[in-house]
Structure 1
Amino acid sequence: MRKAVGHLPHVASYFDDILIHSASWEDHLLDLEATLQALRQHNLTGKPSKIFVGYTSIEFLGHIVEGRVVRPDETKIEKILNIQPCTTKQEVQSISGLLNFYRRFIPNFSDIARPLTDLTRKKSPKKVVWSARCQHSLDTLKKTLTSKPVLQLPDLSNTFFVQSDASNKAIGAALLQQHGETLLPCYYASRKLLDREIKYPIIEKECLAVVFALYTFSKYLLMRPFILMVDHKPLSFLRTRKTKNSRLMRWALSLQQFSFRAYCDTHQMH
């Protein structure tokens, strides 16, 4: 499918699912015609009962896409709300997969979900003890997803803002853009720290969070200026510290390929 329609700028495809997005009704008709011609050239057809034309809001791959806004499919959120405490590792892995699908909507997902993901480690027992921390983690994730989280589709003509954050055992990042006077999220990303990274001093964890943020969102940030909203300490540490630490030197060099203006931000991620 990607071979057939991948060259069309107005088409997003995933296996045999296609989404055609257009700026106007007139453009939509032209885009639809171009897509059908591309499919015909590759001897591909669509089932009429599964073709929806002219919708301003549509479900696509577990998400509701409406204009430049993306939000989770409410039917999938309903399944998450029905999750009960787990008794086995397999059950935890199952719910973790469902929650992980919407991690891009949740700031600091890895840190919040850590009590759950810790139960799925390779050496953890098959029978799990569902602690108060596990329940709090699940309740927090449910609350976040039921607060109708919304992400904005990235606008390449608009300036990007990047935030990063570090805790004792996880790092997180946010990609945002300004709409009016408000910064709105396009994407959240996070990951747990490796065992060796947990031992880093907090300033190095903050540096790692900056590098993680820029590389995670690099397809939006490379070759264009953006604003990095971060406490000045990690940047100053990377830019001015003279060290023989190869890790810090590598991080400092990795920032040089990005063109950004730093803005001191002592608040948590949006």
Structure 2
Amino acid sequence: MDIALIRASRFLRNTKDRKTETFITSLSEIEKAIEDKRAEDRSVQEEREIKEQLPEQYHEFVDVFSKIKSDDLPERKEYDHRIELEKEVELGYCPLYYITAEELQAAKDYIVENLDKGFIVPSNAPYASPILIAKKPGGGLRFCVDYRRLNSLTRKDRYPLPLIDEVFERISKAKIFTKLDIRQGFYRIRMHQESSDLTTFRCRYGTFKYEVMPFGLTNGPATFQRLINDIFLDCLDKFLIAFVDDLLIYSEDAVEHEIHVRMVLQRLRDAGLQASIKKCEFHVTTTKYLGFIITPEGIKVDPAKIEAVLTWKIPTTVRGVQSFLGFCNFYRKFIAEYGRIAKPLYYLTRQDVPFVWAKQCGEAFEKLKQALVSAPVLVYYNPNKLTRVETDASDGVVAAVLSQLYNDREWHPVGYYSATISTAEHNYDIYDKEILAII
């Protein structure tokens, strides 16, 4: 078959020829057919790539890992995100921030892509937040909206996130793990129609608002955690941990584990949520979760975090000290006598203390770094094993370590504890101070 442009007169002559078959179409129909074919090709290619990374027994759940599906605008549901302000205020327009040509191009690409998806739409709201462009840890640029003013005026949703210590108590008997990362989790929740205008942002290319829940809103994690908890309520703490968009499935054997994984994947499908296949792990005995390395034997500090702390430069400001202490505090359960070691640094952050990096500050800084480098494996608490609590109190700090006796006849730490005592507690006898650590 040949396709060619012809004059109208030639076309009329051809239509009179009974041997000539005539068809009518339009460019729009052709373009739609081409686009449908491209979409079909993309879908086939995506399915092939997912199956290469997905264990064969889960191939029926290929759609749960579809990026194409995660780019569809989700339906409105009862979980649509609302923003309630503490009081009626004039939000106004925040000033635009300067961004480089490269960052401007990244912003334009993001806006064009998300306009096409329907995730954002033009806005005429009388207020808007500015944008920021941040560097991604693995390279590339991330589009962000600075919602700090909006967040400061928002009534806080106190829906709780899981406590990390509680999370790890649930997996003490687990031998096998599967980790799922929900793709574009926040974008799978719509903004409530009455709150969408509040998400308006502006930049060089205009003003836009979100139709889906954007990152950076103060109550975003609470809204998403509520959705996840409702989806998996009967699974939580039995074989599933769900911390916002990070899911960890744990089981005692492979047969049981496959049943658990299938159940979770089906729930994700029913809820219209997708997982990122590149960030998932299936049927492993060791995995990284919430900044820790999880194994059947216990919990370890993530080696990547150890590498980061080794290259940490000496802080030159109070904020720098606070940042370092915040990092170390996250892992304080691994550090014996953390409160005593860090005391000079905490003293330096007091408002009535001038910033002077004294010798004891440098020593505390290096000791904390070394403590993280040599952090032990913390075993899971087992109520059936012999348990020992050792306490100490001195220099205004109480400290303790909880240990258990294992089959190798060695005491293994479950966790370390330390805290600064109050002015009134300073007057306690030494024995009472040590009892504080137990309490």
Q: What code does the residue aligned with 2:437 have?
A: A
Aligned identity (percent) is: 33
Which residue of structure 1 aligns with residue 98 of structure 2? Answer: none
Which residue of structure 2 aligns with residue 74 of structure 1? Answer: 303
Moved more, 175-184 or 89-98: 175-184
**1:95 is the counterpart of 2:331:** no
The Cα of 1:159 is off from its aligned counterpart by: 4.2
- The two structures have a TM-score, normalised by structure 1, of 0.71
Q: What code does the residue aligned with 1:78 have?
A: E
Residues 174-212 of structure 1 show CA distances to partners (whole Å, capped at 9, x for unaligned) of 22222111111111121111233223332321232232x
- The two structures have a TM-score, normalised by structure 2, of 0.45
Question: Where does structure 1 differ by over 6 angstroms across 4 or more consecutive aligned residues?
Answer: none
* Unpaired segments ≥5 residues, structure 2: 1-227
**1:32 is the counterpart of 2:276:** no
Q: What code does the residue aligned with 1:2 have?
A: N
CA distance in 2, matches of 1:186, 1:92: 28
CA distance in 1, matches of 2:270, 2:384: 33
Which residue of structure 1 aligns with residue 431 of structure 2? Answer: 203
Which residue of structure 1 aligns with residue 398 of structure 2? Answer: 171
The Cα of 1:129 is off from its aligned counterpart by: 1.1
* Unpaired segments ≥5 residues, structure 1: 212-270
Q: What code does the residue aligned with 1:74 have?
A: P
Which residue of structure 2 aligns with residue 255 of structure 1? Answer: none
* Structure-2 change in CA distance of 1:69 and 1:84 (3 Å): same
Which residue of structure 2 aligns with residue 217 of structure 1? Answer: none
The Cα of 1:116 is off from its aligned counterpart by: 0.7
Which residue of structure 2 aligns with residue 193 of structure 1? Answer: 421
Which residue of structure 2 aligns with residue 236 of structure 1? Answer: none
Which residue of structure 1 aligns with residue 195 of structure 2? Answer: none
Q: What SS does structure 2 have at the residue aligned with 1:121?
A: coil
**1:45 is the counterpart of 2:274:** yes
Which residue of structure 1 aligns with residue 359 of structure 2? Answer: 132
CA distance in 1, matches of 2:327, 2:405: 30
Q: What code does the residue aligned with 2:415 have?
A: Y
Larger radius of gyration: 2
Indicate if the aligned counterparts of 1:5 and 1:39 stay in contact, CA closer than 8 A.
Answer: no
**1:119 is the counterpart of 2:348:** yes
Which residue of structure 1 aligns with residue 234 of structure 2? Answer: 7
The Cα of 1:16 is off from its aligned counterpart by: 0.8
Which residue of structure 1 aligns with residue 24 of structure 2? Answer: none
Q: What code does the residue aligned with 1:134 have?
A: C
The Cα of 1:45 is off from its aligned counterpart by: 2.7
Which residue of structure 1 aligns with residue 389 of structure 2? Answer: 162
Which residue of structure 1 aligns with residue 370 of structure 2? Answer: 143
Which residue of structure 2 aligns with residue 63 of structure 1? Answer: 292
The Cα of 1:114 is off from its aligned counterpart by: 0.5
* Structure-2 change in CA distance of 1:6 and 1:106 (3 Å): farther
The Cα of 1:75 is off from its aligned counterpart by: 0.9
